[in-house]
Amino acid sequence: MPSKRIENATDLAMSMTKLYTSALTQPMKAWSHSMTASQQMLSSLTGNTAIEPEKGDKRFRDPVWTTNPAYHALMQSYLAWSNAITGWVDSLDAAPRDKLRAKLATSLITDGLAPTNAILTNPAAMQKTLEQGGKNIVSGLQHFISDMIQNGGLPSVVDKSKFEVGGNLGTTPGKVVYSEDHLELIQYTPKTAQVWSRPVFVVPPQINKFYIWDLAPDRSIVGNLLDQGHQVFIVSWRNPTEAEADWDLDSYVAALDRATEVACEISGSPDLNVVGACSGGITSALLVALWASRGSDRAASLTLFVAILDVAGAKDTSMGLFANFETLELARMFSQSKGVLEGKDLERAFAWLRPNDLIWSYWVNNYLMGKEPSAFDILYWNADTTNLPAALHGDLLGMLESGGFTGETGPTIDGQALTLKQITCDAYIMGGETDHITPWDGTYLTRNGLGGDSTFVLSQSGHIQSLINPPGNPKARYQTNDGDHDSPESFLAGAETHEGTWWPHGVAWLDERGGRKVTAKKTLGSRKHKAISDAPGTYVRAAS
């Protein structure tokens, strides 16, 4: 890719033309794969094939798919067909990036045509229909109509009636100690008599609500930090409407700057440990770099969770593969016309990045089986979306166009040109092994651009569950590498695997940078910034 770091429509058209040309000039490859698939389909009719679904594919877990000859043949035929298409794309003489695009496009078709998605070819749905005399179909139709009207045409993924923010989510005691147009700042009640003098200041993503950090008490990152003697402040962003369309990146970083001043004043600490996740990681890094450009040392450390600051790290994601100047301009025009990029639109876009997990599995559960969606706190939070102001959306797209923090021009905040090199405080970076939104190897690239020391940790899960990873999960593990490494490959080559969650590792890292132990204050806020209301505050309750 040229130095501009992102393609335009001409680049995309040329690469896709090369792919089509490769496909048309190599018909024997298509013929070969179709013949292989045909042979496997014929063999499946006699039970002589044993094609296994990919690891992690939950669609064919019902034992009927292997014990019933007819369903087994159907599954084998489908897998042979879909594998043939993937194998054909792999065999073409085309650039790897073009192949990834083609695989993404073809997988949307093959996933949608899976036999598990139709009632007659799904054994569990057929059994349910026979057992209930078709009542599941009636319930499924009711769910379908409701989702068409109330959920933008996508299957509901969670039973929202089971959750309430402030009721069974976001319940850790605390107070709103500062409020302005962009945000509320929450200070949590210490749980220990002695606390670290340097507070932890958490910056959630602007595209979601903050209580992902404070789900149920046994799954709360905030609660875990308080248990370990840390003072915790967290930002709760306002859910913007059309009236806030002009809120840009500068204004968000300025709001964070003011909120950190409040946290320092209340805690009595001149500096703090800044923690940001996803897009909150981007604004956190901008804030720390801005401080550096002004000669301020307010940042004692910077922690980044599942955040990509180098656009090169996102180029092979499902979104990055089709991002070019023209599509970004269309996206910018779309949000400008409405004043905001609505959270529901983002939710739909993210769902189509993982259709088997976030669309088709609920299609089967809600419509074919006639069941209610499950009650899962993370999915409730994911569906409780927020909007992005058009100006902020445009600025984030601008960063993408210019290469992010490592582009030729770099971002400019408050008139200051910023670079990662300006961030010289210690940094802790965590990526998720199966993250489909911010791939871990993309998050790793941040490490090479920073101006100070950094620690990289690889958690075993995806974008959210790598973060919400409380102790007690027997499948949890993470990797570290204390040796020299400068690439994702060299990190893995010397990595040590640890059983359990990375939470104790991260807290221990913060402990080392927590300052000294002081007596915890009994009253939240200060004379200058008195408590305004109880946590979780009011901004978090605003619906999109």
CATH hierarchy code of domain 174-541: 3.40.50.1820
CA distance 258 to 391: 20
Q: What is the mean pLDDT of the chain?
A: 88
Which class for 472: exposed (0-12), middle (13-18), buried (19 or more C-beta within 10 A)? exposed
| 183 — pLDDT class (breaks 50, 70, 90) | very high
Which tokens go with 242? 């059309």
| 328 — pLDDT class (breaks 50, 70, 90) | low
CA distance 322 to 79: 27
| 354 — pLDDT class (breaks 50, 70, 90) | confident
CA distance 495 to 479: 6
- Whole-angstrom CA distances from 72 to 40, 68, 76, 451 are 12, 6, 6, 57
For the chain, the maximum distance between any two Cα atoms, rounded to a whole number of angstroms, is 81
| 4 — pLDDT class (breaks 50, 70, 90) | very low
**pLDDT computed for residue 119 by the predictor:** 94
- Whole-angstrom CA distances from 117 to 68, 124, 136, 259, 497 are 18, 11, 15, 49, 38
Task: DSSP letter for 62, please.
Answer: S
In the chain, the amino acid numbered 136 is: N
Q: Which residues are registered as beta bridge partners of 458?
A: 431, 479
Per-residue pLDDT for 151 more than 80? yes
Instruction: Return phi, psi of residue 463, to 5°.
Output: -60, -45
Ramachandran region, residue 525 (left: φ > 0; alpha: ψ -120 to 50; beta: rest)? left
Q: Which residue is catalytic, options 278, 285, 397, 457?
A: 278
**pLDDT computed for residue 12 by the predictor:** 60
What are the extents of the domains in the chain?
A: 19-115, 174-541
**pLDDT computed for residue 43 by the predictor:** 77
CA distance 282 to 254: 14
**pLDDT computed for residue 128 by the predictor:** 95
CB 119 within 8 A of CB 129: yes
Got the DSSP string for 421-453? GG--SEEEEEEETT-SSS-HHHHHHHHHH-SS-
The predicted model gives 464-490 an average pLDDT of 93
Which tokens go with 11? 């680049």
Indicate the pairing of strand 272-277 with strand 200-203.
parallel
Task: Respond yes or no: is residue 425 known to be catalytic.
Answer: no
Ramachandran region, residue 453 (left: φ > 0; alpha: ψ -120 to 50; beta: rest)? beta
Counted residue by residue, the chain has a size of: 544
In the chain, the amino acid numbered 537 is: G
